[in-house]
Amino acid sequence: MMTLLLTLALLWPLCIAGRAVWLSYRTPEAQRDYFSILWLSAAWPALLLAYAGEAQWVIDAWMLGGLWELNSLSRPWLAFTALLWSLAAVHARGYFAADQVNAQAGDQDAQRRLLRLSLLWPLTLLGNVALIIAQDIASFYLGFAVMTFAAYALVVHSGTREARLGGKAYLILAVIGEGLILGGFLWAAGEAETLTLQGVRESILLAEHGVWMATLLWLGFGVKAGVIGLHVWLPLAHPVAPAPASAVLSGAMIKAGLLGWISVLPLGEAAISPLLSQFGHTMLVLGLVAAFTAALYGVFQRHPKAVLAYSSISQMGMLTALVAMGLAAPEVWPLLWPGIVLFAAHHALAKGALFMGTSISEHLPRWPLPLIGGLMALPGISLVGAIGAGMVSKWSVKSPLYEMHYDSLTKLLTLAAVGTATLVSVALWRQWQQRQQGGSNGWQCGAWLGAIAAALLTPLWLPLPADTIAMPPTSEWLGIIWPLPVGVALVAVGAVLLRRSNIKVPPAGDLWWLYAKAVGAALVPVAVVSRECAKLKAASVTTSKRAEEAVMSYLTRLLAAESWMRHHASGLMMVLAVLLAALLMWEGQR
Amino acid sequence: MNAAWLPLSTLATSLFVTVVILALPEEARKLRTYINLLAAVIKLVLVILMIRRVAAGHEDVFSFQVVGGVDFVLRADALGVMFAGLSSLLWLCTTIYAIGYLEDSVNRKRFFGFFSLCVASTLGIALADNLFTFLIFYEMLTLSTYPLVVHSGTAKALNAGKIYLRYTLTGGVVLLLGTVLLYSLTGEHSFSSEEGLGNYLNDHRGLLILIFALLVGGLAVKAAMVPLHGWLPRAMVAPAPVSALLHAVAVVKAGAFGILRVIYDLYGIELSVELGVTTVLAVAASITIIYGSLRALAQVELKPRLAFSTVSQVSYVILGVCLFGPFGTIGALAHLLHQGLMKVTLFFCAGNYAEELGIHRIDEMDGAGQRMPLTSLAFTIGAMGMIGLPPVAGFITKWYLGIGAIQADMYWVVAVLVASSTLNAMYFLPIVHRLWFRPGPSHGKGSWPSEQHLGRLETHGWLLWPMVFTAMASLGAGLLAGLPFSPLDWATRVAIGEYLP
């Protein structure tokens, strides 16, 4: 039964992608429904699978040997990923309704865009599901690569100049990330002769150069997870992607990087080497730096989705710091990891709801404005930790840290929540400024409401191990809630103070522009060297050609000598005969 | 039981076809097609028979004495039938493709005659059991390929043919010199003998290194290692099926296969490591890999870009051989097959674009995915494989090479592999991007250079199906690498034979 469900979960998205192609060839363009109910169902088998229980599959014929597993970690992960994908798909049906009408009316461009999206969306989903289930390196890498490259279509969907830039940044960093991951995997797997992720964990723990393997893998997955320095694609790609695509990018796919870390780093192992522990501390610091600087930079952005992208970087910074605790303080990990999963799941749904909200504010339904505003704010408030699942998830990561007396980290995380609050308020404020009436769609709103509900109730449906999550005691509520009013107040004060001054908005993608300049400068000497090499090569070709001609002309002259010899053949023979005779005589005399 | 007829008849099939085709009149198009296809199928069946016998533990030998001390020997061993299997499978595909490609062109008799001869030589190279036999077929390959390279007869083609002959004949002379030196040192030496050349190590260390340099230097010309690769990008003027065959199995692979034979079967891997020649070769291969990728990046036409990609990819095989240990060997051998499948797919695609739409330059490929979806899909699969992305076969080899490098403590090789993957991505992904994501003539923007409607589907069926087959094979070889008789499985079998005799 489980096997059937697994097969269905993996094959169903493929079938739906196939159907998208079929549609474009066999159905008249006026009847093409790119986002039919069938298409919406792509993630449903995976969602069912997550709730069907634990299981393990070993498939020898699959690549280097397949090992797939549903365990206490991958089940909740699959559950929130599949749920977000399902909701985003429903949202997409509403979001692209107008485009679909155009396509059915014969707009070639719209047809092409929708075909591409409806084809590659299920493939991206497939990669995401596969990497969650996979426990062997090859399948994991396969899922990761499929997801990464198929998602390019989601980023560049609109085809504008900005979208192409976002897509370019996304792809370049993705390729760099893939390279780093490959290097890390090869190194770790080669040392330990292993083919499973479990083996990689052990290899990193035991190997002499374990810390370098960990660094490669951390950075490689960090491209997805938005590690500071490699995060530049997020604020470039998110604003240009369609809202449902941003939702899955920021909710589900970013989390794939996080899952990568949890799968390959030896978290919570007692026998951790001092170097690895050091690495954990570095990771912790960088995570916190990302959490704060992203908030600081993000609040100045104009585009609400760019603000939300920076909020994702900030949140992932917090998650990086929490994962780093598994290396820096292994004893806290068994208590901490369910909290991290809950944090990730809640962030996925809440961020999904926020991104879907940006499309709602562009097409406001005819509901009372305060109601809409309240609904928009709900996932944000929850993300800060003031209500619902956000509160539980904040507490579930803080309580183990309290228990083990990591007070400074909890304080810093609370401060980072202030950053979250400011970012969310700025995003909502920007949405308010840029709101537009009309053109709302039932599917769009329905998915959005569903995502809000799912975000607020995350602990209730997430299949985590029993008794790992608890509500915070009322005495701790104040400590979790206070960042929200402080953050909102900060934004209000800041807005009043900066009203007069005329500061320029820093460009989205911050370091990207620096990198682009640096690469441009580095290419100049390369061009010079290659030009010189080309010259050198041309010169050596001419030289050798000239040498060859010289030799050939010499040979030709020798041939000319031949006719002279023919002419004097008899005389030469005589000379030869005399010489031979002389030689013989000299021989005889000795 | 020794079935001596089996290697002989396999070789004779292609040779016989050559004679028949050259004897037939030019107009006998149908008959020629039937004979060609029949022979290709027969040969494939014979090779499969041979593979089954090798799997069952038999090694069929055919031999006779030419002069005293010099024998002509064909032997079906595991490594040989692996290469023979690749060549006969791809011969069938390329023959079908060539029939479609050369429809209504002139000189088809000459073309198919030498095409068969070329494949016969490849088979001879695969089954040759000593250096003498190997050399005969190696030179035969050089000469039989020349008419194919210059097939179109243009000045550019003739010039390319001249350069091709200069490179390969010089390489052949160097190889001959090495062979003569080796025979004078050791006498007859079979590839299948167990002892290797270890006995000569103490007295003739310098000579052994010299012979190795001569042999591998001669073979490296065909394997297109930098700086001896100059002929390969120029040979691009040949018709697409020739390029496909040249890059996937015949000439380039013959060089790489020769190097495999020299290191594994002539010197023995321990002796090669002892002499220190493998490290030098590994560095040369790494330079070739990076240099080929960099040059590919600079090309603006499709076929030269693929050619430089071959320069880079074939050296993976040589790099794998130089990594002491079973994983490197498995990677090298599997790549011999995988690269063949993927590269042949890419060249078929390039040929299809050129035939159907007149596309030669990369910037003309915008939006071709809409017009030719199957071809573009096959191209995408091939490109993903070259980058080394799963689930295409290229990933499997890259994985084994990387593991082999780590186990041989050659960490820099992993850096080379990662750099090469990144470079591959840099020159293949833009093409894939153009195919699928840029609007082009099929979206009403501009027009194709010279569009033809060759078939009911996106192009002529004869051009389409071989390409679909090889693309599926590249995908299957990666996705189901764990199955028995997959390229990886067979490579593992050969490698175990090398390391655990």
- Run means of pLDDT, 10 residues per run, chain A, 590 residues: 91 95 88 91 94 92 91 95 96 93 90 92 96 95 95 93 93 94 94 92 92 95 93 93 94 95 93 92 95 93 93 95 93 92 96 94 88 93 90 91 88 92 93 86 93 94 88 87 92 87 80 92 92 93 93 90 85 92 87
Q: Please, which residues have CB within 8 angstroms of residue A26's CB and are 6 or more apart in sequence? A: none
Q: In whole numbers, what is the pLDDT of chain B averaged over residues? A: 91
A142 touches chain B (CB under 8 A): yes
> Does an H or E element contain B347, and which?
helix B326-352
The structure tokens 């562009």 sit at A362
> Rounded to an integer, what distance in angstroms lies between the CA atom of residue B426 and that of residue A167?
14
Measured between alpha carbons, how far is B179 from B190 in angstroms, rounded to an integer? 13
In whole angstroms, how far apart are CA B134 and each of A119, B8, B217, B442?
51, 15, 16, 50
Containing A321, the helix (H) or strand (E) segment is helix A304-328
What is the bridge-based pairing of β-strands A66-70 and B70-75?
Answer: unpaired
B2, pLDDT greater than 80: no
Tokens linked to B64? 């006779």
Q: Residue B190: what pLDDT?
A: 84
* Residue in chain B nearest A21 by alpha carbon: B373
Q: Write the single-letter amino acid at B311.
A: V
Distance from the A87 Cα atom to the nearest Cα atom in chain B, whole angstroms = 27
| Cα–Cα distance for residue pair A431/A440, rounded to 1 Å | 16
Give the closest-approach CA distance of A469 to chain B in angstroms.
Answer: 38
Helix axes A569-589, A511-567, angle to 10 degrees: 90
Put simply, the answer to whether A62 touches B399 (Cβ < 8 Å) is no
Amino acid letter, A426: V
Chain B residues in contact with A180 (beta carbon < 8 A): 418
Q: What is the ipTM of this complex?
A: 0.93
Note whether A144 contacts B: Cβ–Cβ < 8 A. Answer: no
Could B390 and A63 be called an inter-chain contact, meaning their C-beta atoms sit closer than 8 Å? yes
Alpha carbons B442 and B431: distance in angstroms, whole number: 16
The DSSP element (H or E) to which A379 belongs, if any, is helix A369-384
Q: What ranges in B68-154 are assigned the alpha helix state H?
A: 78-101, 108-127, 131-149
Residue type, B253: K
Distance, CA of A170 to CA of A149 (rounded, Å): 10
**pLDDT the model gives residue A108:** 87
Q: Which of A245, A32, A223 is nearest to A120 (CA)?
A: A245
The residue behind tokens 């006995």 is B199
Contact across the interface for B425 and A64, Cβ inside 8 Å: no
Is the per-residue pLDDT at B192 higher than 70?
Answer: yes
Helices (H), B187-276: 205-222, 231-234, 240-248, 251-260, 269-275
Q: Is A268 helix (H, G, I), strand (E, B) or coil?
A: coil
Q: Which residues of A touch B404 (CB under 8 A)?
A: 190
pLDDT above 70 covers a percentage of chain B that reads 99
* Alpha carbon A332 to chain centroid, angstroms: 28
Most B CBs within 10 A among A14, A29, A63, hence the mutation to make, goes to A63
Chain B residues within an 8 Å CB radius of A112? 370, 439, 443
Distance CA B242, CA B237 (A): 10
CA gap B4, B348 in Å, rounded: 36
Assess contact for A128 and A256: CB atoms under 8 A.
Answer: yes
Asked if B241 and B98 count as a contact pair (C-beta separation under 8 A), the reply is yes
Count of Cβ atoms closer than 10 Å to residue A8 Cβ = 16
Residue type, B29: R
Number of A–B residue contacts, CB under 8 Å? 95
User: Please, are residues A386 and A481 in contact by the beta-carbon 8 Å criterion?
Assistant: yes
Contact A193 B396 (CB under 8 A): no
Contacts of B321 (CB under 8 A, 6+ apart): B259, B260, B263, B264, B278, B281, B328, B329, B332
B501 pLDDT higher than 60: no
Output helix, strand, coil percentages for chain A, rounded to the nearest 5: 80, 5, 20
A65 at B interface, C-beta within 8 A:
yes
Burial of A542 from C-beta contacts in 10 A (0-12 / 13-18 / 19+): exposed
| DSSP-derived secondary structure for B30-54 | HHHHHHHHHHHHHHHHHHHHHHHHH
Handedness of CA A73, A79, A80, A86 (dihedral sign): positive
Q: Whose CA is closest to B42, among B14, B18, B20, B19?
A: B14
Q: Are residues A40 and A121 in contact, defined by beta-carbon separation less than 8 angstroms?
A: no
CA-based nearest residue in chain B for residue A190: B403
Name the residue in chain A with its Cα closest to that of B429: A171
The pair of structure tokens assigned to B139 is 């030179």
Q: Which long-range contacts (CB under 8 A, 24 or more apart) does A116-119 make?
A: A116/A153, A116/A157, A116/B436, A116/B437, A117/A34, A117/A92, A117/A153, A117/A154, A117/A157, A117/A242, A117/A245, A118/A20, A118/A23, A118/A34, A118/A35, A118/A39, A119/A17, A119/A20, A119/A21, A119/A153
Dihedral of the CA atoms B95, B96, B98, B102 (nearest 10)? Answer: 130
Two tokens, residue A77: 């992960």
Rounded distance between C-alpha atoms, residue A279 and residue B26, angstroms: 73
- Residue pointed to by tokens 């000593």: B130
**Cα B380 off chain centre by:** 20
CB-count exposure of residue B235 (10 Å: 0-12, 13-18, 19+): buried
A440, A446, A449, A453 alpha-carbon torsion, rounded to 10°: -170
Please give, rounded to a whole number of angstroms, the shortest distance from the CA of B496 to a CA of chain A.
Answer: 17
pLDDT of the residue at A489: 93
Best CA proximity match to A264, nearest among A353, A198, A348:
A198
Residues of B contacting chain A (CB within 8 angstroms): 327, 370, 373, 388-391, 395-396, 398-399, 402-407, 411, 414-415, 417-419, 421-422, 425-426, 429, 436-437, 439, 443-444, 478-483
Contact A190 B418 (CB under 8 A): no
Q: What is the dihedral of CA A229, A232, A235, A240, to 10 degrees?
A: -170
Q: What is the pLDDT confidence band of residue B459, given thresholds at 50, 70 and 90?
A: confident
Residue B350 CA to residue B472 CA, distance in Å, equals: 17
Q: What is the pLDDT of residue B1?
A: 65
CB B492 within 8 A of CB B481: no
Query: Are A12 and A111 contacting, i.e. CB atoms less than 8 angstroms apart?
Result: no
DSSP code, position A472? P
User: Using CB atoms and an 8 Å cut-off, which of residues 180-219 of chain A contact chain B?
Assistant: 180, 182-183, 186-187, 189-191, 193
Cβ pair B230, B290 in contact under 8 A: no
What is the DSSP-derived secondary structure letter of residue B238?
A: S
Test mutation, B414, B456, B457, chain A, max A CBs within 10 A: B414
Mutation site for B-interface testing, chosen from A23, A64, A108 by largest number of B Cβ within 10 Å: A64
Mean pLDDT, rounded, for B123-139? 93
Per residue in B464-499, pLDDT tens?
999 999 999 999 999 999 888 899 999 999 888 877
Distance of residue A286 Cα from the nearest chain B Cα, in angstroms: 26
